[in-house]
């Protein structure tokens, strides 16, 4: 019986994404959540099981690789009238180097190509540099988004861009 290499590759990819997400989320969100809450959020939202469940619900995850090094990830879901950008994270040393801008532009092109009229995302309200990044790219603030994971309230702001 031949081994199912696709399943092996998928599992490897999901675990690599989950490990990277844990690393980046702990770096980014340590300012906003106590350690135990942050561990719970990562386990609930970005563990291998959570990512696999997202993928089963039509969320597309991508690792960002530069020069053979995995430096970040992003995820999106195509909805009726919009592309929902769920995650866009880069390791600290790769932020501010236009990679996020390029990923965002790619998502916008994808949304347009699929006939979607807008792209939207939620950003942690206290992550001011990220909010500013989206504003400089033409996104407007729609307001606060109610979000809770594992009983932990998350302060998010919804941003959108009409395409």
> pLDDT by residue (tens digit) across 82-119?
999 999 999 999 999 999 999 999 999 999 999 999 99
Percent of the chain with pLDDT over 70: 93
Task: Enumerate residues 6+ apart whose C-beta is below 8 A from 48.
Answer: 11, 14, 15, 17, 18
User: Alpha-carbon distance 95 to 100, whole Å?
Assistant: 7
Kindly state whether residue 128 falls inside one of the protein's structural domains.
no
Residue 6 has pLDDT above 90, yes or no: no
Give per-residue pLDDT as tens, 38-62: 999 999 999 999 999 999 999 999 9
The CATH number given to whatever domain includes residue 25 is 3.40.630.30
The residue-averaged pLDDT of 146-159 equals 95
Kindly state whether residue 97 falls inside one of the protein's structural domains.
yes
Kindly state whether residue 77 falls inside one of the protein's structural domains.
yes
Q: Where are the beta strands (DSSP E) in 51-151?
A: 60-66, 69-78, 82-90, 118-124, 140-149
For residue 138, what is the DSSP state?
T
Cβ neighbour number for residue 36 with a 10 Å cutoff:
9
Kindly state whether residue 44 falls inside one of the protein's structural domains.
yes
Confidence of residue 10 (pLDDT cuts 50, 70, 90): low
Instruction: Say what the pLDDT of residue 12 is.
Output: 80
Kindly state whether residue 81 falls inside one of the protein's structural domains.
yes
Kindly state whether residue 14 falls inside one of the protein's structural domains.
yes
What does the angle CA 75 – CA 22 – CA 55 come to, to the nearest 5 degrees? Answer: 35
Kindly state whether residue 40 falls inside one of the protein's structural domains.
yes
Instruction: Say what the pLDDT of residue 1 is.
Output: 46
Buried b (16+ CB within 10 A) or exposed e, 116-134: bebbbbbbbbebeebbebb
What does the angle CA 61 – CA 95 – CA 150 come to, to the nearest 5 degrees? Answer: 50
Domain that holds residue 54: 4-117
Instruction: Say what the pLDDT of residue 69 is.
Output: 92
Kindly state whether residue 85 falls inside one of the protein's structural domains.
yes
Question: Average pLDDT, whole number, for the chain?
Answer: 93
Q: What pTM did the predictor assign?
A: 0.92
Confidence of residue 146 (pLDDT cuts 50, 70, 90): confident
Q: How many domains does the chain have?
A: 1
């Amino acid at each position: 019986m031949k081994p199912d290499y696709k399943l092996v590759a998928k599992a490897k990819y999901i675990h690599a994404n989950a490990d990277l997400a844990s690393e980046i989320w702990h770096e980014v969100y340590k300012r906003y959540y106590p350690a135990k809450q942050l561990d719970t959020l990562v386990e609930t939202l970005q563990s291998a099981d959570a990512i696999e469940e997202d993928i089963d619900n039509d969320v597309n995850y991508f690792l960002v690789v530069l020069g053979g090094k995995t430096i970040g990830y992003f995820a999106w879901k195509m909805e009726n009238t919009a592309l929902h950008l769920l995650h866009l994270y880069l390791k600290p040393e790769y932020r501010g180097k236009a990679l996020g801008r390029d990923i965002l532009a790619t998502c916008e092109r994808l949304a347009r190509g699929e006939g979607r009229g807008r792209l939207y995302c939620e950003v942690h309200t206290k992550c001011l540099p990220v909010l500013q990044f989206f504003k400089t790219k033409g996104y407007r603030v729609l307001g606060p988004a109610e979000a809770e994971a594992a009983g932990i309230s998350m302060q998010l702001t919804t941003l959108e861009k009409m395409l």
